Amino acid sequence: MPFVFDINVLIEVVLEKNHYSATQTLLSQLQNKGEELWLPPAGLAYASSILPTTQSHEKFSQLLQLFSTLPYSAKEQQALYQQSPQNYYQQLLYQATLNYLPHAIIITANPMTSTTDNIKIQTPTTALKQLTSPTDFHPNQFDFIDLKTQQRQCLPEIEYQIHQVLKHGQYILGKEMQQLEQQLATFTQVEYALTCASGTDALIMALMALDIGKGDEVITTSFSFIATAEVIAFVGAKPVFIDIDANTYNLQANAIEQAITPNTKAIIAVSLYGQCADFHVINDMAKKHNLAVIEDAAQSFGATYHQKPSCGLTTIACTSFFPAKPFGCYGDGGACFTNDEALYKAMQAIRVHGQSQRYSHDRFGINGRFDTLQAGILLAKWTLFVQQEIPNRQRLAEYYNQALQNTVTIPYIAPENTSVYAQYTIQCPQRDSLQTHLQQQGIPTAVHYPIALHQQPVFQHLNTATLPIAEQLSQQVISLPMHPYLTKKQQDNVINAILQFFA
């Protein structure tokens, strides 16, 4: 739950005046509970102008380390000042909170008259009392993927990165992108990481670098997002769909061989829902038949297979930084990964219209460039993702597993894998009525994916034979709310609603 502090109550703490002892206790309790602490914008200049001694400035600086500052643009501040110059600070405190944290609690010594919004305004003393009472501070908000809570964990870093880019003005392929590519390569233990405009572009760039086109065939799974197969058709090649493993839902590695023809050039294996496909078997098969392997790692960045990171397991890997992905930016984005220098150079050229030198084009390419601002966003999220979000996702999945294992088919993670749980997807024959039941209880769900790829209208002309597991799963899977900031209460709501459905 976010708490926004009036700068005046912090000044009281520093000067040991009025409410200072209640505020101090409140702050330490909120800190222990891991609650979010915020300050309104523009308070710091005011505080620094009235604090009397060096010692008080030092104490204030220490206090500040607990807080993030609410975003509120200069333009918005000016408009507010024009509306109410006399009451500006109080209005700023309130409006900046309403703008960004509409369910927050404002802590102030002078509570304004009550409002009709969801914001509560309390003195340090009343907030302290309420903290120790059983009243629930947390609203019953429910998002399938909650990017707002995540943003609040790293907002100062995001603002810093955005301002760095605004300052240097290199909006495309700037230095943040280069730094990100280095970090991506180190994290995935590959020689080369190349960012690009989307996960779809990453796959297109990979196929183009491998010179796959008309007359070629690419073997792939029938149970994935459309982009996996669409890109094969986009470069002029033919997707050859095979069925999936009934436990992991990833491509059936031992079904590859019978799908190979003299035209086969590559295999695209998806690491679905955050768990890697069985790449030892897939790579062995590819080696035997001289095929390239592309990992579609759009959902698995951060996962491991035999202790090796996803994206470092195949000829080329491609990931997506779409906002809802485990590691997502604030727009579209993606990356390719490889250990092969020639392929890296080819993809680097393809990313900018096949350009090897300025305005000299040796091959065809695309506009696949990544925005520097988006690279900055990912740099800002990096530590949080690696240190907290991956383990959080795994812990939350384990909690779902324990509660649901006797009621529905829970995700099966192969012993050689760790999943990053892009989705927590269960399977049950009554999928559609379960989804309606959960929707009636205000619980958002999604179906990944309701139609197997070979059954999509655009691929009907391929006349693919029945792929029974993919077809059955498309009727039975349902993804539950999953993001690193799900609360226990929210998870319990989901679990109880499912248990009630099957009772």
Ligand X SMILES: Cc1ncc(COP(=O)(O)O)c(C=O)c1O
| Residue 334 sits in the site that holds ligand X (CB under 6 A) | yes
Q: Minimal distance in Å, beta carbon 114 to ligand X?
A: 44
**Secondary structure of 119-141 in HEC code, one letter for each residue:** CEEECHHHHHHHHHCCCCCCCCC
Site stretch for ligand X (CB under 6 A), options 193-201, 279-287, 357-365, 411-419:
193-201
| Residue 374 sits in the site that holds ligand X (CB under 6 A) | no
Write the interaction track for ligand X spanning residues 254-293; mark x where CB under 6 A is met and - where it is not. ----------------x-----------------------
| Residue 225 sits in the site that holds ligand X (CB under 6 A) | yes
Q: Which is nearer to ligand X, 95 or 224 (CB)?
A: 224
| Residue 322 sits in the site that holds ligand X (CB under 6 A) | yes
Asked if 5 and 68 count as a contact pair (C-beta separation under 8 A), the reply is no
The span from the CA of 1 to the CA of 462, in Å, is 52
Q: Which is nearer to ligand X, 77 or 300 (CB)?
A: 300
Return the residue matching tokens 């993001």. Answer: 483
Q: Which is nearer to ligand X, 6 or 201 (CB)?
A: 201
Q: Which is nearer to ligand X, 198 or 338 (CB)?
A: 198
> Which residue number is nearest to ligand X in terms of Cβ?
199
Give all strands of the β-sheet with 36-39 in edge-to-edge order: 68-69, 36-39, 2-5, 105-107, 120-122
The span from the CA of 266 to the CA of 282, in Å, is 11
Q: Which of 161, 275, 299, 493 binds ligand X (CB under 6 A)?
A: 299
Q: Which is nearer to ligand X, 198 or 474 (CB)?
A: 198
Q: Which of 176, 217, 332, 389 binds ligand X (CB under 6 A)?
A: 332
Return the residue matching tokens 């990833």. Answer: 250
Asked if 299 and 180 count as a contact pair (C-beta separation under 8 A), the reply is no
| Residue 371 sits in the site that holds ligand X (CB under 6 A) | no
Q: Which of 161, 320, 419, 427 binds ligand X (CB under 6 A)?
A: 320
Q: Which is nearer to ligand X, 225 or 327 (CB)?
A: 225
| Residue 199 sits in the site that holds ligand X (CB under 6 A) | yes
The span from the CA of 277 to the CA of 253, in Å, is 8
Q: Which of 228, 252, 275, 417 binds ligand X (CB under 6 A)?
A: 228
**Number of other CB atoms surrounding residue 88 within 10 Å:** 15
Asked if 310 and 302 count as a contact pair (C-beta separation under 8 A), the reply is yes
Greatest C-alpha distance within the chain:
83
Distances (CA, A) of 54 to 17, 39, 42: 18, 22, 21
Residues that bind ligand X (CB under 6 A): 198-200, 224-225, 227-228, 270, 296, 298-299, 320, 322, 332, 334
